[in-house]
Amino acid sequence: MKKVSLLFASIALSVCVSFAQSNVATVSETGTDQTATVGQTGILNVSNVTQSNKENTADVVQSNLNVLYNTLSDINQSGETNLATVKQISNGTLTGANAIGTLKAIVNQLGNKNEALQVQGPHNQQGISFAEIIQGGNDNFASQHQLKYGNEARINQAGSGNTAEQAQDSELLPDEEGSYGNALINQSGNDNFASQKQDGWANEAKAYQSGSGNSSIQVQKDYSWKSVALVNQSGSLNKATQTQVGNTNSALIDQASNSNEAIQDQKSGSQK
């Protein structure tokens, strides 16, 4: 049995509906026991949900009442018992020549029993933010939380039992300036953990884990800006922690063997 709810009407199997405020939702499902829920309020929101196989669940909530803004969500689940949740709110106040548009969230789950969570909002001045989660293994968890604007986040998990968490500007207050962060987590091994928290301006954090049982924690905080953090773990059971406060820091941890631990703490430039 398939369950498809658009909060406005009940429909079956495949749907392409344009709502009164120029919103478009398309749901296409094959297989059994699929569930899709899409709720859109505002102007120029677009949601695509494609589910095959069985027992997948997709939940999309998009809210945008500013004609200068639009949001796009694209969920594709071809495995079994996957869960994808996308929440986007664009209540930006920039107008005219300074207007910033487009929030884009993509979830592609090819494996089984994966969970993906994407949240963009609620701080204003959002736009040109991009979030992507691709999970090809099994039993993976990935979450992305983006505030402010101009952030880009990617998670790619090809192994199984991995956890990846990204948060950009989630610790900043509404009146504090941030954004243009770049975060990437790539996990091709099993049972790895990677966490990235960016609060500030134009920071870059990347973590590559091809071994198993590794842990990577990267924190760029207290309104840091233009700092770079890189972790590369090709062995197993390694631990890497990077903390950057201030401006224009650069940190690299490369762990190719097993059971290593590295901690980097950088403070420089003007600090909040």
Q: Which residue has the higher pLDDT, 4 or 89?
A: 89
The percent of residues above 90 in pLDDT, for the chain, comes to 64
Measured at the CA of 152, the angle between CA 111 and CA 99, to 5 degrees, comes to: 130
What single string gives the DSSP state of each residue in the chain?
Answer: --EEE-SS-B--SEEEEE-TTS-EEEEEE-SBS-EEEEEEEESSEEEEEEE-SBS-EEEEEEEE--TT--EEEEEEE-SBS-EEEEEEE------GGG----EEEEEEE-SSS-EEEEEE-SSSS--SEEEEEEE-SSS-EEEEEE-SSS-EEEEEE-SSS-EEEEEESTTS-TTS--B--EEEEEE-SSS-EEEEEEEEES-EEEEEE-SSS-EEEEEEEEEEES-EEEEEE-SSS-EEEEEEEEES-EEEEEE-SSS-EEEEEEEES---
Q: What pLDDT is attached to residue 13?
A: 31
Task: Please tell me the pTM assigned to this model.
Answer: 0.88
Return the bridge partners of 38, or none: 60
For the ranges 48-62, 117-131, 221-235, 247-261, which has the lowest average pLDDT?
A: 117-131
pLDDT at 61 over 80: yes
Average of pLDDT values for 202-208?
97
Q: What pLDDT is attached to residue 16?
A: 35
